[in-house]
Every structure is written in C-alpha cells, then in structure tokens.
Amino acid sequence: MTVTAIIVAAGRGTRAGGDRPKQYQPLMGRAVLARTIAALAGHPRIGALVAVLHPQDDAMFAEAMAGLSIPVTVVPGGATRDASVQAGLAAVADGTDRVLIHDGARPLVSVALIDRVIDALADTPGAAPALPVTDALWRGAGGRVAAPHPRDGLYRAQTPQGFRLEAIRAAHAAHPGGAADDVEVALAAGLDVAIVEGDEDNLKITHPGDFARAARVLREREEMDIRTGNGFDVHAFCEGDGVILCGVKVPHDKALKGHSDADVGMHAVTDALYGALADGDIGQHFPPSDPQWKGAASDIFLKHAVGRVAARGYRIANADVTLICERPKIGPVAAAMRAEMAALMGIEIDRMSVKATTSEQLGFTGREEGIAALATVTLIRT
C-alpha cells in the first residue's frame, strides 16, 4: 500500500482573525501549516505530500517552511474546497493507491490516528476519524430552544479522511460540488466509509481561542516527549593521506575505508538521530548496495536525518560524539568538528560535543586498524 497525503490549505480562514490566513499564523513559533505538514511527513507510512495552496500564498508558504527539509508538491487550489481537493488528487504521483485528505489547519494529528485511518483502508474504500457526540442536542429558533434532538448515531467529523485513490477521484469527478467534506462526496458515489476513532486533540483551528488550546496541547506533548538515541560506527583504515571525521579533513598517513566517505563520527550521530526516532539506520535509508551512494559525502546522510527529526516535530537538544582511536589526534581539530556538525544540524555550537579517547592500545583501535565512534543525541518535541 502506497499512501500520499493531500493537505488542503487554500482557504482564507477569516474567522480566526489575524492579519494573514490562519494556516500561516504562528503556533508556538511555527506556522500552523508547517506543523501540519511536519506531522504528516513524519509518519513512516506516508510516502509523499501534496499541498494545495491559494495562488497568492507562495511567499507565505516559503516563509512558513523555512528551515524544514520536507519535500512537498505544491499545487494551486480552486475557488471551492471541492475544486482544491480535485487539484490535489490530480497531482498525486503514479504508483499511489491510497490518499489521505487533511485540513491544513489541523496541526495536532497523531501517528496513532493516521495509522487507524490507513489500517481501515485495507478493508473499505474509505475511512475517516470521528468522535461521537456526547453533549445534549437541541433544535433552536429565534434564540430559544425549540426542541431536543436525539444524539444517537451522531459524530463529529475529523481529518485525515482516507480513500482508495481511483475511487475518490471518480467520486469527485461525478459530484456537483458544495460538499462539506470528502466523506460526503464518497457517500454520494455509493462508497462505503468506515468510522475510526478520532482524537480530541486533533482540533481544527477555526476561532482565535483555538490557538491557545492548541498551544496547551503542544506544551503537554513537549513535557512528555523527550527522546534519546545512540549510534555506533566503525571503519577500518586503508591506504591514504587523511581521514574525514565529523566533516573535517584531518591529515593522517592512512584513510578510512567505506562505501561512502567513511566519516565514522558523522555516521554515528546520524544513526543516533534515526535511533531516537525509531526510524531505522543509515543502511536502511541509504543502502550500500545502491551505487549512487558510493563515495558520497556523509553530510547527505546527516541532513536527511535532521530533516526527519524536524518533520516528526522534534528539535535537537544536544548531540555528543566520542571518537575512539590512537591516531590521529583529535584535540587540535575538535573545535572545527563541533562547528561543522552544529552548522549541519542547525543547532548552537554549545549543544554539540566532540571528544576523543584511546583504548589504551587494546583491541583493533589500539592496534591502529581503524576508528570507532559512539554518539548520543536528545530530541525534544516542539
């Protein structure tokens, strides 16, 4: 199953107030839409993203996404939500068989909720999250209660709403327009739509007070979601005139042997970042069997891991790497290594530690057969 997420963000959102559309207003230092995109991009089962924007919003979108290395296909939306969704569906790349259609103003969507929608698509052509109505309902007229209304079987709809791609494309093509959401379009076409459990935190920012509520949820998540990852790497020496360690070329009478540039320190930090996310390792993201990575600079791998961290909604609190070798001496170049690594990771230099130790002439490092590196990183939910 291949999944593409379509983020619908072409509306104006005037009820939220402010001097710009709500999706571009800040939520704890980051634009609402950027948080929404990062939440979806960080899900391991979503393979691609399509953002549907108002034609006049390119500059605001670029500003919102600054500093986030997330590949997104951007398409202009239409005059109505239906038209915008159809534009997004048309932009989905070949090979996708499932789509998730999500409101750009729902930045708090969780991994578990997305999983529930995707899982349900194995058995039905459509699935959507919802919460049962628990409050008493009334009909009103003229500012007065006219009559009670039964709440049995009533739900509050949420997104992402998931569908088999060709089924929802056909449903939209046949629909006259004016639907409140994509479930309405699917039902009009006779598609079966499963209800999966929604999430109270998956709120849609609509009114000014919703920003404060969303910020409270984010603060609670940050307090609870601190992650640590470890990385370890080893490379043997070979003939050469220097080694690359933490992005710095260090003169030596040998080089390090590896499929890429064999930067053992950077590899350890990269794997620590993947480990903190429970997101595999370098070999899974950049297989050594793939010839395109032969001799590749290791900053490609590190930048990818840093992008995954941001996409999942985390920031790097600190990173610490220890290089284990008899030679070359690391002390004279440790400051340059810290500066290079901090720049690549987008963190302050006082959050990046590079140090070295020997193994007291024991083992393969003691015999000067290679270099090992051990790294630890800490991530905090933003």
Domain ranges in the chain are 3-223, 226-381
Which H helix or E strand runs over 212? helix 209-224
For domain 3-223, the CATH architecture is: Alpha-Beta Complex (3.90)
Instruction: Evaluate if residue 67 carries a pLDDT over 80.
Output: no
Domain 226-381 has CATH 3.30.1330.50: yes
Q: Which two tokens stand for residue 166?
A: 């060709």
What integer pLDDT is reported at residue 369 of this predicted model? Answer: 94
> Residue 219 — very low, low, confident or very high, per pLDDT cuts 50/70/90?
confident
Using a 10 angstrom Cβ sphere, with 0-12 exposed, 13-18 middle and 19 or more buried, the burial of residue 209 is: exposed
Distance from C-alpha of 368 to C-alpha of 382, rounded to nearest angstrom: 42
What integer pLDDT is reported at residue 126 of this predicted model? Answer: 98
What integer pLDDT is reported at residue 13 of this predicted model? Answer: 83
HEC sequence for 293-315: HCCCCCHHHHHHHHHHHHHCCEE
Q: Which two tokens stand for residue 135?
A: 């409050």
Which H helix or E strand runs over 378? strand 370-381
> Residue 290 — very low, low, confident or very high, per pLDDT cuts 50/70/90?
confident
Distance from C-alpha of 377 to C-alpha of 382, rounded to nearest angstrom: 16
> Residue 132 — very low, low, confident or very high, per pLDDT cuts 50/70/90?
very high
Give the alpha-carbon dihedral of 110, 114, 120, 124, to 10 degrees: 130
Instruction: Evaluate if residue 36 carries a pLDDT over 90.
Output: yes
- 242-271: average pLDDT: 93
Residue, of 366 and 1, whose pLDDT is higher: 366
Q: Which two tokens stand for residue 80?
A: 């109505």
Instruction: Evaluate if residue 51 carries a pLDDT over 90.
Output: yes
Instruction: Evaluate if residue 167 carries a pLDDT over 90.
Output: yes
Instruction: Evaluate if residue 147 carries a pLDDT over 90.
Output: yes
Distance from C-alpha of 22 to C-alpha of 20, rounded to nearest angstrom: 6
Which residues make Cβ contacts (< 8 Å) with residue 92, sequence separation at least 6? 4, 6, 48, 50, 99, 165
Q: Rounded to whole angstroms, what are the CA distances from 263 to 107, 243, 283, 337, 378?
A: 37, 8, 14, 12, 21
167, 104 contact by CB (below 8 A): no
- 30-38: average pLDDT: 94
> Residue 281 — very low, low, confident or very high, per pLDDT cuts 50/70/90?
very high
Instruction: Evaluate if residue 221 carries a pLDDT over 80.
Output: no
The 10 Å Cβ neighbour count of residue 31 is: 24
Distance from C-alpha of 274 to C-alpha of 15, rounded to nearest angstrom: 40
3-223 and 226-381 have identical folds = no
Q: Which of 338, 335, 328 is nearest to 250 (CA)?
A: 328
- 70-88: average pLDDT: 95
Question: What's the pTM value of the predicted model, to 2 decimals?
Answer: 0.67
